[in-house]
A and B are shown apart, each in its own frame.
Chain A
Amino acid sequence: MENSVGIVETKYYTFAYPPNELVLDSGGKLGPITLAYETYGKLNEDKSNAILILHALSGDAHAAGYHEGEDKPGWWDDAIGPGKAFDTDIYYVICSNIIGGCKGSTGPSSINPKTGKPYGIDFPIITIKDMVNAQRHLIDYLGIEKLLCVAGGSMGGMQVLQWLVTYPNRIKSAIPIATATKHSPQQIALNEVGRQAIMADPNWNNGNYYDSEIPAKGLALARMVGHITYMSDKSMEEKFGRQRKNGNGSPKFSADFEVEGYLHYRGNNFVKRFDANSYLYITKAMDYFDIAQGRPLYEVFKGIDAKVLVIAFKSDWLYPTYQSLEIVKACKFAGVDATYCEIDSTYGHDAFLLELESETHLIKHFLRKVYHGYEVLDEYEI
């Protein structure tokens, strides 16, 4: 429990009650909407120390600390807490879940007030912008006029970019990590394999499975594909090699290579905590995301006076560094104050959860500068 924010609870905020539903990117309406969120640390008097953390595809509001009775901490506990990158002794850290999800926020598994049954695929198509618009309601509700920072990796990074472009005056800084301004055909293709795995499972039943067997096989398979893309060739080699569990005595086509066992374990575990329809909606939102909407990115970035810290990882082949460099390029051209670091990591896309030492150094100093508003430190240690 050392350096931990301790025991925490997920909170819920409900808004957009009819007739004031949230108008979605698609033109449709959604309401009421519940957002799950957690907070750590204390909001200061002038409300200038609030940081919004945004999570990746399968994340949730529980980013740090422990839920009562559980021994596993939140998903970014290594980065959020006293003395950590997002130092809760100094900052007030909020982690918001997303609409479309299944972790306490309104999504396809929520009850549709019009029918009294889960939405299923009657749930409207949502976008990253819709997620961010909903989060803005939460930030309004928390009484925060200007966030010190928005930060997140992967799909969290897409939300960061969306905040930067849609609400530039509501943030002082942004940290997009291992992310992209839009998905490449390769990224869309990988997501589509996952979606097809779910939809090919007979239990999926056109999204109608909440009273029956869930499409566990399909969802597990989607997650297996995902986990392959989160690691690098090298990190797989280091973690599994060609180790086999039972030597040569395995039954035909059983998962005897350790890497197979790992993927099965990850897939089966995921099914217990994630909704297949949410997986479809969220991956589609990522695929539709295009922050520049066909315009040159530097034009979209023009006039932004938030400071930006872009972080990418050398071995990340799911979100290759060239995608982060596109953000950097646009910042250069638009005159946005930015810093870029490509961390030499072998962990692949997972690096954003694992390369804590380097990330902590970058984030800590970056936040300190933004918070105190200095140009350079008065003195530095050599």
Chain B
Amino acid sequence: MNMKSDIRLDHKAIADMIPVGASVLDLGCGEGELMYMLVKEKKAKAQGIDIDEQAIYKCVAKGLSVYHGDLDSGLSDYADKSFDFVILNQSLQQVRHLESVLYDSLRVGKKVIVGFPNFAYYKARIQMFFVGKAPITPALPYQWYDSPNLHFLSISDFQEYCQKRGIKIENTKFISKSKIIKAFPNLRANIGIFLISI
């Protein structure tokens, strides 16, 4: 699986959106690689939340501060604008109450960075159209029966959603394999990253 290089690139793309010394809340931080990088390279003040106990141990071993809990209930405890950035990288599509998590993130963070697998990536389209099967791509590596993803969205879906809801898209990065995609991202990128605010 060549997901690793894509993920590295998406971490880098996220880091590029964050100025030095920013405070960051990483929702669904996993084992903390992104936070670790942000602390080391951006001197970020980072805090993470993840539901997985083993991931918490890995974060603590790196020296990171993390909360063990789920995103659907973990956000209400923060005051408005407690963080410069709230990051939802590869986690928004996995939460049950997507809209309340997204709006709570926009409340708690001055800005929000959302990264998700693009369901309309051309390889996914090919699998759907020609093979007639639920797509498996580097960014969507799961079988239909064991996927943690609850929501399937495309880059175009998210753009349209932000427009409808009056959410400002301040910056975007689209990634495929280990490249940044500029043209036709909804077809060619398997990961979309959005910097948004209200």
Residues of A within 8 A of B (CB): 307, 325, 328-329, 332-333, 335, 337-344, 358, 361-362, 365-366, 368-369, 374-377, 380
Contacts and interface: CB of A to CB of B under 8 A. Distances in A.
B104 to A, nearest CB: 13
B56 to A, nearest CB: 5
A374 B67 contact: no
Contacts of B62: 376-377, 380
Contacts of A380: 36, 61-62
The dominant DSSP class at the A interface is mixed
Contacts of A368: 63
B51 to A, nearest CB: 10
A149 to B, nearest CB: 15
Contact of A339 (B39, B60, B82): B60
B105 to A, nearest CB: 14
Contact of B67 (A338, A344, A361, A375): A338
B60 to A, nearest CB: 5
B158 interface: no
Nearest to A339: B65
A178 to B, nearest CB: 14
Contacts of A366: 60
A376 B77 contact: no
A365 B67 contact: no
Interface residues of B, number: 21
A329 B56 CA distance: 17
Given A328-B67, A376-B39, A361 B53 contact: no
Interface in B33-52: 36, 39-40, 43
Given A328-B67, A338-B67, A333 B77 contact: yes
Contact of B57 (A338, A362, A377): A362
Contacts of A376: 36, 39-40, 62-64
B86 to A, nearest CB: 13
A340 B65 CA distance: 8
B183 interface: no
Given A332-B77, A333-B77, A341-B68, A362 B36 contact: no
Given A329-B77, A335-B82, A344 B53 contact: yes
Nearest to A334: B79
- Give the most central of B43, B63, B64, B78: most A CB within 10 Å: B63
Nearest to B60: A365
Interface string B82-112: 1000000000000000000000000000000
B68 A340 contact: yes
Contacts of B79: 333
Contacts of A333: 77-79
Nearest to A369: B63
5 contacts: A328-B69, A365-B61, A368-B63, A369-B63, A376-B62
A11 to B, nearest CB: 33
Contacts of A342: 53, 68-69
A340 B57 contact: no
B7 interface: no
Contact of A365 (B36, B40, B53, B63): B63
